[in-house]
Structure 1
Amino acid sequence: MDKDSDLKQHKLQNGANTFNIASETKDNKSEKATMLQKDVGLLSGISLIVGTMIGSGIFISPKSVLLYTGAVGPCLLVWTACGVLSTLGALCYAELGTMITKSGAEYAYLLESFGSIVAYLYSWTTIVVLKPSSFAIISLSFAEYAATPFYPGCSPPALVIKCLASAATFIIVIVNCLSVKLASYVQNVFTAAKLLIIIVISVAGMVLLAQGNTENFSNSFQTASVSFGSIGLAFYNGLWAYDGWNQLNFITEELKNPYRNLPLAIIIGIPLVTVCYVLVNVAYFTVMTPSELLLSPAVAVTFGDRVLYPMSWIVPLFVVFSTFGSANGSCFTAGRLAYVSGREGHMVKILSYVSLRRFTPAPALIFNGFLSLLYILPADINTLINYFSFAQWFFYGLTAFALIVMRFTRKELHRPVKVPIVLAVLMTLVSFYLVLAPIIDKPEIEYLYCTVFIFSGLILYYVFVYKRVKWAHKMMRPITMHLQLLLEVVPPEKIE
């Protein structure tokens, strides 16, 4: 065994026995430190934002947004407003991300502003429910579009969809565990693919508009039926398609030159997605009436069948690419949140360990993938979207409020990017409107379940974090040791 192999074996054994790792010796300075590396550049950052945002949403949500707005005009306005709101939120996160250069996004910012309990509740809810359910939703969308061509004239069997979604989840987790650069490369390739199909649909729509297919845009507000709650639900489904605008903040520690690349990627990525989404929706309405769009089992596929025949097969193929790339981005960032939370002691320590050979947070990625598989089994996509949005926008609003709070409580922090405080105020108000509007308009028991689940995390916090009961840590110690040896992972090194 050579010198490097001896050193790595020593690290693994030392980590398994003591859960601590020593610094590199002076003779081995050339070896990479056992920690997450700064391998994500500007292009990969933009691809992560665009690739995660453009996933299944633009191919699923158009029906739901139209359903809750009732007409073409307000539907397009909601899509545009969702893009503006996402941009405002991302600008707030640009200040937070360049002020607190830790991975974990909302978790790091809530920890800095409100302390351990609030950050823990966020990590508990997001790691156990929000991130894996999001991964599951996108994987199910991938499977639905992948299976549809093989079942012409009918819907694919639920078992087939769930098996395909599970297989995609497994492959994506393996890719992310193997290499950060490989995962970034996959993200870049699939982002290029999804932008290509977006361009094809948009250009086809513009051609049809130029040919006079404008009947669906006349009197486009006439049949609108909106209410306080229905607008909130329309925004829920539109913002689901835009979700991912905060993804780069989850990997700040792996971003090259974050002070420059984080805000630049946001400024380029999110307006690009907004333009794409509005153009795609316009294209849909050039060939489908609102009633036809609502009845379509797969809006993008229906568009392709009517406009691109005999090349209509490219639409479901590229939608499959799009959803796969979005699932990859979701997995990539979810692992980082579990990693950071484990490092802070809010999750089991094994989640904060790094692969000795691959420099990836393998335990955190595997844990997220495992939970996603559990959500795939009973999943109903629409219910999951509403459940996801209710809790997620509560934390978005709380994070925007954290920016306001830290303007007064943490004045000493360096702010390379500083946004007008009114943006944070607006983001906070809109976020809490999106939380409260559907509950006020149509109270449902799932909102109560969500709230109870969030605060039930306080029981675990008291036992495992605040009191740190000895029996729990003694029980976890042999489990952690065996998992560490099995996965060949060690605690991350601290660079002084």
Structure 2
Amino acid sequence: MGEETSPRKLKEDEHSIQSMEPKATDLQKEVGLFSGICIIVGTIIGSGIFISPKSVLSNTGTVGPCLIIWAACGILATLGALCFAELGTMITKSGGEYPYLMEAFGPIPAYLFSWVSMMVTKPSSFAIICLSFSEYVCAAFYSGCEPPEVVIKCLAAAAILLITTVNALSVRLGSYVQNFFTAAKMVIVAIIIISGLVLLAQGNTKNFENSFAGTPASVGGISLAFYNGLWAYDGWNQLNYITEELRNPYRNLPLAIIIGIPLVTVCYILMNVSYFTVMTPTELLQSQAVAVTFGDRVLYPASWIVPLFVAFSTIGAANGSCFTAGRLIYVAGREGHMLKVLSYISVRRLTPAPAIIFYIFPPGLRENIYRSQSHIQPQLQWESGEVSCMLIGLSIGKPASSDFYEVPIFIPILVTLVSVFLVLAPIISNPAWEYLYCVLFILSGLIFYFLFVYYKFGWAQKISKPVTMYLQMLMEVVPPEKHLE
């Protein structure tokens, strides 16, 4: 008699047969809950909290309001992310704000969002993060003098190429890299927090006395402090850019947000407490890199670990930015708002390789544009308010018995009102031509929209078709199977 086959054996054989079957040429669900948390935490915590918390202090003037601003920014980021969690479970498409704007307001607002994001904000932010990484690494080899600018830029370019290669090769590899660097940056965060709390427990509380004494901050100063604080929280919405690759997004998307952003908020507040335990407000404002100054005073002779782990932190934030933002270009190409080849999938790697490569080319040319945070941040904050306002409208028309993750209606209303205030306050208190330039640049996207998207002139099609064909053969990419017409 032959051996009896157990149900367990049959299940194992069935699983092995399924694993041998070729996967569909589409983005795969490779990101779990832990990786989702790492993407949020790893993308938010970059170089800002280690280098320039002084920007918040310079606009508030004293320690007490400074800590309140950091906490308020964390609360606002959490509330905004909860709105995005509902949108992500309601509209399970990758691309962040882009598909939500498309669903609520139509193609023009969605196109303008993708236009600004792809041409300025995201690639330029990516370039700045990589430059920060390069500056910290080069500083270790040029002790006592400034590193040559060409060396800094060459190393930053090498980091950009490495990160792009990793994310173009494998979604899983990019996720593993993100997990590793997130764990590394949490090590230095823990070191700074624990060291500061130990010194605080030993009685170093002098810098917290009369924390609110001084000249009250103006409305414009408070709004600028919010901008600089929110800059350090930038990345709280990154998980919505990869919703289609997230396992069980209805559960893991809101759960990763609820865990990740409050964790970052607590870390930021405690790190600022540690900084003020060691440095006076004046010393903190004079420091070029606050975390390095902290390490020199507290961790000597092991202070070298601070720039090392800050470099880890910045490269991890850059990897998270590349991992998520490439999906915006992929979705925009899929919707016909960009070249179709940007929505194609690598046959061998199952990654949106064309979109990822386009995302980083050439970010260095846009780095200087993004340096002026005070003029680009109102536009970024407007996006949050626009999406929150859209959530209000979609929530009104949503069935009461829906299975989506839901937030109370007062949360998107509050986020919308705060966003409107943060957009208008600096413009009213300190009007400048740069704000008009930002608006004109945003509206300039309409020229390309009507020429290449809306009217689809024949001469444009004649150019794009052979370009798409040659790029497809060169990169070995095909349209995603789920979206083939």
TM-score range, shorter chain: over 0.9
The whole-number CA distance in structure 2 between the counterparts of 1:415 and 1:402 is 19
Whether 2:186 is the aligned partner of 1:195: answer yes
Q: Is 1:484 equivalent to 2:475 in the alignment?
A: no
Structure 2 distance, partners of 1:483, 1:391, is 34
Name which of structure 1's ranges 242-251 and 56-65 shifts more when overlaid on structure 2. Answer: 56-65
- The alpha-carbon distance between structure 1 residues 393 and 177, as it changes in their structure 2 partners (threshold 3 A), is same
Query: Which amino acid letter does the alignment assign opposite residue 51 of structure 1?
Result: G
Amino acid at match of 2:451: V
Evaluate the alpha carbon distance shift between residue 157 and residue 74 of structure 1 in structure 2; reply closer, same or farther with a 3 A threshold.
Answer: farther
Equivalent in 414, 419, 422 of residue 426 of structure 1? 414
Q: Which residue of 2 aligns with 1:13?
A: none
| Corresponding residue of 1:134 | 125
Q: What is the aligned counterpart of 1:255 among 246, 251, 254?
A: 246
Equivalent residue runs for 1:204-353 within 5 Å:
204-353=195-344
**1:96-144 Cα shifts (integer Å, max 9, x gaps):** 0001000011001111111111111111111111111111121121112
CA distance in 2, matches of 1:268, 1:155: 40
Structure 1 residues 63 and 381, CA gap change in structure 2 (3 angstroms) = farther
2:67 to 66, 76, 83: 76
Whole-Å Cα distance in 1 between the matches of residues 272 and 78 of structure 2? 19
- Aligned equivalent of 1:439: 427
CA RMSD between the two structures: 1.8
Q: Deviations over 1:422-446 (max 9, x none)?
A: 1000101111211111111111222
Partner of 1:15: none
1:309 is paired with a residue of what secondary structure?
Answer: coil
Residue 205 and residue 381 in structure 1: after superposition, are their counterparts in 2 closer, same or farther (change >3 A)? farther
Task: Supply the distance in 2 between the matched residues of 1:151 and 1:92 (Cα, whole angstroms).
Answer: 46
Equivalent residues of 1:61, 1:238 under 8 A apart: no
For 2:69 and 2:191, the matched residues in 1 are separated by 23
Question: Do the aligned partners of 1:127 and 1:368 also contact (CA within 8 Å) in 2?
Answer: yes
Match of 1:182 in 2: 173
Name the structure 2 match of 1:120.
111
The amino acid across from 2:249 in the alignment is: P
Give the partner amino acid of 1:148. A
Q: Which amino acid is 1:449 matched to? A: Y
Shift of 1:156: 2.7
| Cα-to-partner distance string for 1:372-394 (whole Å, 9 max, x where unaligned) | 23234xx37742x3344222111
1:173 maps to which of 158, 164, 175: 164
Q: 2:404 aligns with which of 400, 416, 421?
A: 416
Cα deviation, residue 35, structure 1: 0.7
1:449 and 2:437 equivalent? Answer: yes
Cα distance change of structure 1 residues 348 and 173 upon mapping to structure 2, 3 Å threshold: same
Q: Which whole-Å deviations, capped at 9, do the CAs of 1:471-490 have from their partners, x for residues lacking one? A: 10111111111111111111
Question: Normalising by structure 1, what TM-score?
Answer: 0.91
- The gaps in structure 2 that reach 5 residues or longer are 1-17
CA distance in 1, matches of 2:371, 2:63: 21
Q: Look up the match of 1:356.
A: 347
Which of 23, 28, 41 does residue 37 from structure 1 map onto? 28
Name 1:19's counterpart in structure 2: none
Worse-superposed segment, 202-211 or 150-159: 150-159
Q: Distance in 2 between matches of 1:466 and 1:224?
A: 54
Give the letter for the 1:70 counterpart.
G
Is the CA contact (8 Å cut-off) linking 1:99 and 1:413 kept in structure 2?
Answer: no
Deviations 1:65-86 (A, max 9, x none): 1111111111111000000001
- Aligned partners of 1:283, 1:96: CA distance in 2, in Å? 36
Distance between the aligned counterparts of 1:80 and 1:275, measured in 2?
8
Q: Does 1:475 align with 2:463?
A: yes
Q: Deviations over 1:11-66 (max 9, x none)?
A: xxxxxxxxxxxxxxxx9992111111000000100000000011112123301111
Q: Quick one: structure 1 residues 388 and 175, their matched pair in 2 at CA, closer, same or farther if it must change by over 3 Å?
A: farther
CA gap 1:351/1:267 in 2 versus in 1, 3 angstroms: same
Q: Does 1:365 align with 2:356?
A: yes
Residue 61 of structure 1 contacts residue 241 of structure 1 at CA under 8 Å; is this kept in 2?
no
Q: Tell me if the contact between 2:120 and 2:370 (Cα under 8 Å) persists in the aligned partners.
A: no
Aligned residues: 467
Report the equivalent of 1:53.
Answer: 44
Query: Is the Cα–Cα contact under 8 Å of residues 74 and 224 in structure 1 kept in the other structure?
Result: no
Question: How far apart, CA to CA, are the structure 2 residues paired with 1:311 and 1:411?
Answer: 59
Partner of 2:5: none
Shift in CA distance, 130/433, structure 1 to aligned 2, threshold 3 Å? same
Q: What's the TM-score once normalised by structure 2's chain length?
A: 0.93
Q: 1:105 to 1:39 in 2, by over 3 A?
A: same
Task: Work out whether residues 59 and 222 of structure 2, in 8 Å CA contact, stay in contact via their aligned partners in 1.
Answer: yes
Q: Is there any run of 5+ residues in structure 1 with no aligned partner, and where?
A: 1-26
Cα distance change on mapping 1:490 and 1:149 into 2, 3 Å? same
- In structure 1, how many angstroms separate the alpha carbons of the residues matched to 2:78 and 2:424? 22
The alpha carbon displacement at 1:225 in A equals 4.0
